[in-house]
Structure 1
Amino acid sequence: MHNETKRGGNLPQLWQGAIPLLVLFVGLFLAVMNFGDEATGGPVQIVLMCAGLVAGIVGLSNGLTWSTLEKAVSEFSSMVIIPIMLLFSIGGLIGVWLASGVIPTLIVFGSEILHPSIFYAAVLVLCSVVAMSSGSAWTTAGTIGVALMGISQASDLSLPITAGAIISGVYFGDKLSPLSDTTNLASGMAGAELFVHVRYMLWTTVPAFLIALVVFLFLSLRAGQHVDTAQLALLTGTLSSNFTISWALLLPMAILIGLAIARVPPLMAIVISIIVGVVFGLAFQRGDQASLPQLIVDYWRTAATGYEAHTGVADADELLSRGGMASMMTTVWLILSAMFFSGMMERTGCLQRILNSLLGLMRKDRSIFFGVGATALFGNIVAADQYLSIVLSTRMYADEVHSRGFRPEMLSRTAEDFGTVTSPLVPWNTCGAFMAATLGVGTLTYLPFCIFNIASPLVACIYIGSGIALRRREVSPAPDLISG
């Protein structure tokens, strides 16, 4: 069995399994060097497809047929159908909420509340609270996050730093929320009790969050001295003159959070929120415009292709003209290309061979958790999806963690410390692609400012290396034998 893949064909040698990875990393380096932030607009997709073909050639040389590989890629890609539909839906939500005045209202009220001297830190905290309430990093970034990017742009603050604060906040909240799909997945795969898993995550997550908070406070104090208040006033004035701004328009956001708390499936919650946005738009932004049927058609078009602003102020038009399901097409192309590569790596046994070699290096008790972390990171890079990263790192090490006497929460926590939070740092990962498309900042541009996402695995490494908070299972003493 050690020389065969799980579904036939010979397991490739380690050097063979490494060839597609070498092609991937060299290709990505060249893509970034030549295209910069535009690399994910097509060049990276081509690299992923070429690396996938190389993996396929490795599989053919080890006894697999091309039809077998194609079938495996189709099965592998089917796992991202729901995330892709969610991606399209959030694109539609952004467009509709812009047209209906929901996001403009968030921008106007947010600019009044969020002082520039604490802006980045406030963004971190606000996104953390909303994401913890909703259990979704994507939904929070696609709603509150878009509004905060608007405030940042209008205030002439750094968009990469703002994006980093948003991503840090939404992943902190998502990671600790009992409503989060990743939190439930990690605990379930490791055999851990959900709330015990969340409690143990506090050990590593809170210090990483505090590090991020201090950094963003420092950056806020420096940035607050250079804010363009005139430009911000122009934007808020433009929004107020082109939209009806009302506290009532915060209700769609409250409804969305309520749907999440009620455990309504994310895709259904987003679609309902789009409909709610249309209703509120018809109620508050109708004015003297076209007939009701025409307005409904306009919102339909907006959900499909995005909102196009005509305020007469160039900066405001640039800020507001975005969203729509069509805006996510390049991101979907990136995700499908990544799934092609990942499916080939998995079915040919290249991934299995590399991970087996990694497991063989884990000799000491605590070193097993370095292996979990490395596998989670590897999963985000190669499998290009945080769910697959969590599944790989928990499923592969579950028996070993149990045999070495550690609590299952140590496994689930480590998978999240390295898997959940690093997913938006990989440009071709589903999360990295989504954040770049939604926030309008390239992954490699915002990456240095995702302080929480960087600090989380580093803090986890300190805990693993020192043995802090690595709890073992309690072994019940053998019962006394009572003679008859």
Structure 2
Amino acid sequence: MAEIITIGIFLAALCICIIGKVQILYALIFGLFCFTGYSIYEGNSIKVTMGMLWKGVAKVKTILIVFALIGLLTAVWRAGGTIPFILYHAISIIQPRIFVLCTFLLCCVMSFLTGTSFGTASTMGVICMMLSNSAGLNPLLTGGAVLSGIFFGDRCSPMSSSAQLVCALTKTDIYENIKGMTKTSIVPLIFTCIFYVFAAKTGGLNIVDTSSAELFSKSFNLEWITVIPAILILLLAILHIDVKYAMGISILTGCIICLTIQGFTVSKLISCLIFGYQAPDNPRLALLLNGGGLVSMFRVGAIVTISSSYSGIFSQTKLLNGVRSLIQKISRYITSFGGAVVIAIFFSGISCNQTLAVIITEQMSSDLYTDKKELAMVLENTAIVIAPLIPWSIAGAVPITTIGATSGCLIYAVYLYALPIWNFIITLLHTRIDIRDKFIKSSI
């Protein structure tokens, strides 16, 4: 009974925050007190309970360093001209007749390079939506392509905070995970590309508006050297250099470019690294590029820290035993992967944020999978891509608002559907083959 009351109070707090449009962080802080209170009610001392909380946070302490590096990187890539360089040339290669496919692929590339879905939505996503709206194309279809693309990199970029979170929870290697993610996403990726080619009605788009490209060329020195920080990230990733060192080298290179190519002063660069890039007296450029910086990662860092502290209590108390038992029963009928999908949908809906959904899905699925690498793939193919499909979740609502679309575009976020569906089909086929082989052996 105490378990139901505790979870119910937490869910009520989440609902109040959603309805009142209050930051979800406050509900998470309230949840921290709820779950701490439950642990003490169960007979654990305050010291033991604090130990549980710390054990949960300890799982992701390394990722907090990565978050700081991501904040610095996204700022220096903006200020140094790396992102403007990529956007400038991306706009020039867009093919009008396959505009929606180009939107998806460009957002894939940008999100993989930056590792941020929100950052890609606010740059490449905004530009693609501007071009789409000016051409009179279906905004839902274009919006869906943007969402599919921005979460491509959020799932598999070595700089993605989500991918790093999965590594921290499962204690796996980011580059090994990327290999696995590539294998499990080939068919969904091809299917998504084919869908956007045939679903798009691009007859009215004959000319691509290049005004955004001109804006970048006037505001930045776009010499080829400005793209070196991005090239270094890709090169060092191929060489399997620790992502923290790779990002550090890219940041240092970007800082040098800011000082020598873009004409930054040392004080201006330091301010940019801490508070993010701020476009000087240009509202349109500010709309497209402002952001990044150490401060920009404080909120997501707080969310991850608080959410991860829950996992210590979840794993060492009986709070989620009832849910865990139910999931195990369901998994017997719909496979372990199907059970993970159910967990991801349910907890993405009630937690309203991707981080907590991933952490709880890992907690609930750890009993279903003994192989950590396999568990990491399950998380990447369920909670990571399912959370954005929940209309009221931060993961989906923020990018949709950023690009000026409506929640209806979720229907066309095909890649986010294709990944879990395809992997569920594969798991189902493998399960049936295993059952058939066991039946044949028992009959001999």
Fold shared, TM-score > 0.5 on shorter chain: yes
Whether the 8 Å contact between 2:308 and 2:359 is mirrored in structure 1 is: no
**What secondary structure is seen at the aligned counterpart in 2 of 1:308?**
coil
How far apart are the structure 2 equivalents of 1:196 and 1:101? 30
How far apart are the structure 1 equivalents of 2:430 and 2:423? 9
Whether the 8 Å contact between 2:118 and 2:150 is mirrored in structure 1 is: no
The correspondence for 2:226, drawn from 249, 253, 261, is 249
How far apart are the structure 2 equivalents of 1:438 and 1:329? 22
How far apart are the structure 1 equivalents of 2:206 and 2:302? 38
Where does residue 79 of structure 2 map in the other structure?
99
- What are the Cα deviations for residues 172-198 of structure 1, in whole angstroms up to 9, with x where unaligned? 7559xxxx7689889988xxx989966
How far apart are the structure 1 equivalents of 2:178 and 2:288? 40
More divergent stretch after superposition (55-64 vs 378-387) = 378-387
Give how far 1:68 is off: 1.8
2:297 counterpart of 1:328: yes
2:385 counterpart of 1:421: yes
Where does residue 110 of structure 1 map in the other structure?
90
**Structure 1 residue ranges without an equivalent (≥5):** 1-14, 287-293, 402-407, 479-484
Whether the 8 Å contact between 2:10 and 2:31 is mirrored in structure 1 is: yes
Give how far 1:428 is off: 11
Q: TM-score normalised to the size of structure 1?
A: 0.70
The correspondence for 2:416, drawn from 453, 469, 478, is 453
**What secondary structure is seen at the aligned counterpart in 1 of 2:434?**
coil
Whether the 8 Å contact between 2:341 and 2:383 is mirrored in structure 1 is: yes
2:150 counterpart of 1:167: yes
**What secondary structure is seen at the aligned counterpart in 1 of 2:216?**
helix
| Compared CA separation, residues 102 and 21, structure 1 to 2 (3 A) | same
How far apart are the structure 2 equivalents of 1:301 and 1:409? 40
Give how far 1:426 is off: 6.8
| Compared CA separation, residues 252 and 268, structure 1 to 2 (3 A) | same
Matches within 5 A, 1:295-374: 295-310=265-280, 312-364=281-333, 367-374=335-342
Q: Percent identity?
A: 17
Where does residue 244 of structure 2 map in the other structure?
267
Give how far 1:436 is off: 4.7
Give how far 1:227 is off: 9.1
The correspondence for 2:70, drawn from 79, 90, 104, is 90
The correspondence for 2:55, drawn from 75, 85, 92, is 75
How far apart are the structure 1 equivalents of 2:285 and 2:63? 31
Aligned residue pairs total 422
Where does residue 32 of structure 1 map in the other structure?
18
- What are the Cα deviations for residues 214-268 of structure 1, in whole angstroms up to 9, with x where unaligned? 443456535x737995xx4333222212211223322221111111112222222
Give how far 1:342 is off: 4.0
- Largest Rg, 1 or 2: 1
Where does residue 481 of structure 1 map in the other structure?
none
CA-based RMSD: 4.5
Give how far 1:396 is off: 0.7
Where does residue 397 of structure 1 map in the other structure?
368
**What secondary structure is seen at the aligned counterpart in 2 of 1:397?**
coil
How far apart are the structure 2 equivalents of 1:425 and 1:436? 12
Give how far 1:298 is off: 1.6
Whether the 8 Å contact between 2:85 and 2:222 is mirrored in structure 1 is: yes
How far apart are the structure 1 equivalents of 2:251 and 2:355? 28
Whether the 8 Å contact between 1:98 and 1:104 is mirrored in structure 2 is: yes
- What are the Cα deviations for residues 344-392 of structure 1, in whole angstroms up to 9, with x where unaligned? 433432124421332244445x544433443455676769357646754
**What secondary structure is seen at the aligned counterpart in 1 of 2:3?**
helix
Give how far 1:422 is off: 2.9
Q: TM-score normalised to the size of structure 2?
A: 0.76
| Compared CA separation, residues 363 and 469, structure 1 to 2 (3 A) | closer
**What secondary structure is seen at the aligned counterpart in 2 of 1:349?**
coil
Whether the 8 Å contact between 2:96 and 2:207 is mirrored in structure 1 is: no
| Compared CA separation, residues 90 and 145, structure 1 to 2 (3 A) | farther
Give how far 1:309 is off: 1.0
Where does residue 204 of structure 2 map in the other structure?
225
